[in-house]
Amino acid sequence: MIDLELIIIIFAYVVPLYFANASPIIVHGKIPLDFGKKVGGERILGKGKTILGTLSGIFFGSIAGFVFSFIYPNVFLIIPNYLLLSFFLSFGAIIGDICESFFKRRFGFKSGQKCIIFDQIDFIIGGLIFSFLILMPKLEVIIILLFATIFVHSITNIIAFKLGLKKVPW
């Protein structure tokens, strides 16, 4: 039997998370978030993390959540604070990606270098952590988001690469 409420919750999380993660690829800007500063001879984050990209991710992820609530207003029956949750998911997704970039630099990964699994789920983990401020999702929601994202994120990255939006297919 299909659990319709579970499907709605998954989409309610996926929409802001994925829009927040994808927006900086399209609206990336020029000014790096770390202003080119280095720690131990390595950039703090790398040139791919920009101020405009960060803000666009939070903005478009939040807007995507708003649009989802407009398309499916019953989401408020399941998640009463959904608009606030959308903001925290979007904010957390961007923070998760930024943190992963920071740790990749500390462990010697170059900007854009592949880091299997973490490249796919960093934004999900960050979004989920910040979403806990509003709502603790069921364990099955967390598991589905993590496992589905590993595959979906890989496919969308290949598409973005082929469209010339990304320099690497991961």
pLDDT value of residue 33:
95
For residue 78, what are the contacts with CB-CB under 8 A and spacing of at least 6? 5, 8, 9, 12
Model pLDDT, residue 35: 95
Q: Classify residue 98 by its DSSP letter.
A: H
Check residue 116 and give its pLDDT: 80
Cα–Cα distance between 21 and 125 in angstroms, integer?
12
Residue type, 170: W
**pLDDT score, position 77:** 95
Q: Read off the pTM.
A: 0.91
The residue assigned the tokens 């929601």 is 141
The pLDDT of residue 29: 92
Interaxial angle between packed helices 51-71 and 4-26, expressed in degrees from 0 to 180 and rounded to the nearest 10 = 150
What is the per-residue pLDDT for 1? 52
Alpha-carbon distance of 150 to 155, in angstroms, equals 9
- Taking the C-alpha atoms of residue 9 and residue 26, their distance in angstroms, rounded to an integer, is 27
pLDDT by 10s per residue, the chain, length 170: 579 999 999 999 999 999 999 999 899 899 999 999 998 888 899 888 999 999 999 999 999 999 999 999 999 999 999 999 999 999 999 999 999 999 998 888 877 778 888 888 999 999 999 999 999 999 999 999 999 999 998 898 889 889 988 888 87
Q: Determine which helix (DSSP H) or strand (DSSP E) holds 91, and give its type and residue range.
A: helix 82-106
d(CA 142, CA 148): 10
Contact 94, 126 (CB under 8 A): yes
Q: How far apart are the first and last CA of the chain?
A: 35
